Each structure stands twice: as C-alpha cells, then as structure tokens.
A and B are shown apart, each in its own frame.
Chain A
C-alpha cells in the first residue's frame, strides 16, 4: 500500500462525517471553531516557533475559523517549576498569542498550566499570589476556570477537570461544577462541553493491557474518575452533542448514548519531538449548524521535529 492508514484517515475525515448527511441538507452557513490543545510552549525545541506556525495554519483555513479553544497544557510544565521558569513560559505564551492569534481565544486550564502544586519541586509555599490556578487566571483575566458562553445558536461549556491529589492531580468534575453543569445544559440549546482532562477517552486504553496484573488498566489522571456522574447529567439532556478534550495527545472519537466524545490530538505532538503514537502534531476544526448537527476535521499543520 502506498498510502498509510493515517494518510487515508486524514483524507476521509471530512467525508466520513458528511456521510451522516449533515452539511448537504442543512441550511445556512455553519459556525466554525478550532480546538487547539497541548501547546506545551517553552523556549526549547522551537516550541514557540511551532505554536506560531500552527496559529498561522489555523488563520489560513477556509471557511474561516471564528474562534479558538486553547485546550490546556498551554505551557510545558508548571506544577513542579520555580517562579522564574514559569514566567519564561507564560511570557512566551502571551507573546505568541499576541502576535499570531487574531481570533477570540478561550483558554481551558490544563494540569501543566497550574503553578506549584508540587511545592518541593517548585520551591513554593502555596502562599504566593500567583500560586496554583491563579497565574493562568490572571494571564487570561478569568474570574473562574469554568465558564460558558453562547454563539451561533450553540452553548459552549468549559469545565476545569484538573483537581489536586497529593502533590499531583487527578481528573474530576467537582460537586460545585457538576451542579453548575446541570444548570448550563438545561433547556434545548445544543451544547459543546470542553475540558482538558477528558470526561471519557479510551485512547490510552488501546495499549493498556497489563499482563502481570491480568487487567486493562488506566490511571485516574487520564480521564475524570466521576464520568458516570457526568454521563447521568448528559443522559437527561439530548441537547448535549459534543464533549471535547485534550491531555492524551491522541486522536479518537467515542459515541455513547447520543454524545460524541472527541479527544483532539496535540499541537505539540510528542512534546515537540514529532509524532506521538499514531498521530502527527495537529488540531481539529469543528463546524456547527444551528439545528444541532456538526462535522469535524483533523489538521496536520506541518511540523517537522529536528
């Protein structure tokens, strides 16, 4: 075969979705947005240049991308780094966004965007004004790391699925957000849910057989441990159409009970070292029609690691 599976997949990704008969029959123009995840920006490995190039690729899409979700892990690492290193990364992120992101940009917090949760590694006390999620919130002027807005007849609900556990983190939609989520998805407006750590993403299970344990096994840092509670909310709301996530650097789609869970790859691929498992560095665009239909497409933005 001259074509590898991934090439074929890219070629048919758009067509595959239109199989469902969506774009042809739907009236009007769709709303297009981009879901760009896991920049892992840092001065090393040409990461700043790479993110700028990915933004440029996004700007050249036609139809036009109207707005962008930055799906978390926008900086390389924050939980275990000292203040000066955190500042270098956040400054580079802000500069790169200022120069190349000319669309509305909605930041989703990722585990690596949090400063100092590992106090020993970061040499923090927890009393620093920018400690924890505050640095990210201040950088993007976010009153809260979960928020919602409406556009094009759709509602977008951003969750913060990164919660502390020991000196690290786990995936969790905490009780306060779960209540808030119920309120946000009430009604009939079609909804897109966005989180960094997936609500449910089987990609890491593909290679998770553990012979010694005699089990397939995946940690609670890979998807939210209370997925069933979130699913119960969705089960009552057929207007919830899509749940987008990042974190795994993998690309897959899971359909359960009328909701599509899309895990949308990583801008940085293998943390700026090229392809990660089956997937090149890339991002996803999604087209939404007002009647609740949607299509999506994966874009390789053309990175070659050194």
Chain B
C-alpha cells in the first residue's frame, strides 16, 4: 500500500470538512462545536505559536465553529510548578485565546491546570489564594469548575472529573457534582457532556495488557472511577447523546447504549513533540442538530514539531 491508514484518514477528514456541513441535509442549521483539548501551552517548543495555529485552523473551517470547548490541560503544568512558572503559562494562554478567537470559549479543567497539588514541587502551602483549582477559575471568571450552557437547542454540560487523592489525582465525580449533573439532565434538550479525564474511553485500555498478571489494566487516573454510576443516569435519559474527553491524547469513538463517547486527541499531539502513537496533533469538530442528531470529525491541523 502506498498510503498508510493515517494519511488516508487525514485526506478523508479534510475533504469532509471542506463541504458545507459534515453530514446531514440542509433541513435545520446545526450548531458547530470545536473541541480543542490538551494545548499544554508553555513558552518552549513553539507551543504558543502552535496553539494559535490550531485555533486559527479551527476558525477557518467553513462554517466556522460557533463555540469552542477547551478540553483541559490548557497549560503544560501547574500541578507541580511554582507560582512564577504557572503565571507565565496562564498569561500565554490568555493572550493566545484573545488574539485568535472571538467565539465563546468554554474551559474544562484538566489535571495540569490545577496549581500546586504537588505542594513540595510547587513550593506551596495550600493557603495561597490561587492555590488548587482557584487560579484556573479566576482566569476564566468562573465560580465553579462545572457548569452548563445552551447553544442551538443543545445543553452543553462541562464536568470537572479531576479529583485529588493522597498520591496525586484520580478521575471521579464527587457527590455534590453528581447530584448537580442529575439535575442538568432533566431537560428535553439533547445533551453534550465534556470532561477532561474521560468518563469512559476505551483507548486507555489499548496498551494496557499485562502479560505477568494476565489482566487488561487501566489506572484510576485515566478514566472516571464512578463511571458506572454516571452511566446509570444516562440510561434513564435518552437525551444524553455524546460525551467528549481529553487527557489521553488519543482519538477514538465508543458507542454504548445510545451514547457516543469521543476521546478528542490533543492539540499538542505528543506534548509538542509531534505525533503521539497513531495520531497527529488534532482537534475535534462536531455539528449538533436541534433534533439531537450529531456528527463529528477529527481534524489534523498540520503541526510539524521542530
């Protein structure tokens, strides 16, 4: 074969995006959502330039996205970084967003967007006003790390799946947020859910076979540990259509019981080092129709690592 699969996929994705709409007919106008995740912005490795190029690439789609969801890990790392270093990254993020898009930008909190949970490495005490999730929230002027908005007849629900544990973090939705989510699903509108750590993403399992134990294993830091409880909420609500995630830097789609779970790759690919496993630096674009139908494409935005 002259073509590797990835080249073929990339060619197909570009062609599809070039059409006026991805999928359906012209009956009703969809809302277009760009899901750009895992920027890992930093002054090094041309990450600022790259993030800007990715956003501009998305803005040049025809039609352009109506909204952008930033899927978390927007900065390279605040978890184990000192205050000055965290500030450099957040400043660069703010400037890059302001200069390259005028669309509503809905931020999802990622584990690397938390400041100082590694208190030793970040030289924090936990008493700093911006410590933990507060810096990210202040940056985007939000009072809570989970929230919902509505566009084009859809409810877009942003979750915070980053849960602190004694040795770092896990994927988990704690009780208060869980009850809030239950309430958000009580609508007749179709629902899209976005989280950084996936609710469920089978690509986490792909490299997880352990020949010593004979098990396929995935750690609690890669998916949401109480997903099965979340799924039970979805089982009762057929208006839940699609769940997006970041975190893994891989791209896949899983369909179970009427819900599509998409892991959205990474704008930064292999953390600005190029391709990660099978996937180029990319983002996800979705068209959402008011009647609940949706279509998606992964879009490689053309980054070449230095």
Contact = CB atoms under 8 A, between A and B. Distances in A.
A, B bound: yes
B205 interface: yes
Given A253-B255, A278-B235, A225 B209 contact: yes
Contacts of B274: none
Given A20-B23, A220-B209, A236-B5, A255 B258 contact: no
Contact of B252 (A8, A215, A255, A278): A255
Query: Chain B, interface size: which category?
Result: 35 or more
B26 interface: no
B219 A215 contact: yes
Interface in A202-226: 202-203, 205-207, 209, 211, 214-220, 222-223, 225
B8 interface: yes
A93 to B, nearest CB: 31
Residue of B206, B216, B220 contacting most chain A CB atoms (<10 Å): B216
B5 A9 contact: no
Contacts of A252: 254-256
A60 B153 CA distance: 40
A255 B202 CA distance: 10
Given A5-B257, A255-B253, A216 B218 contact: yes
B211 A228 contact: no
Query: Chain A, interface size: which category?
Result: 35 or more
Contacts of A216: 204-205, 217-220, 222-223
Interface string B263-306: 00000000000000010000000000000010100000000000
A8 B4 CA distance: 38
6 contacts: A5-B236, A9-B238, A215-B220, A234-B5, A236-B5, A254-B255
Given A5-B257, A228-B209, A256-B203, 14 more contacts: A19-B295, A20-B23, A214-B219, A215-B218, A220-B216, A222-B216, A231-B206, A236-B5, A238-B3, A254-B252, A254-B255, A255-B252, A256-B206, A278-B235
Interface of B: 1, 3-6, 8-9, 23-24, 200, 202-207, 209, 211, 214-220, 222-223, 225-228, 231, 234-238, 252-258, 278, 293, 295
Interface of A: 1, 3-6, 8-9, 12, 19-21, 170, 200, 202-203, 205-207, 209, 211, 214-220, 222-223, 225, 227-228, 231, 234-238, 252-258, 278
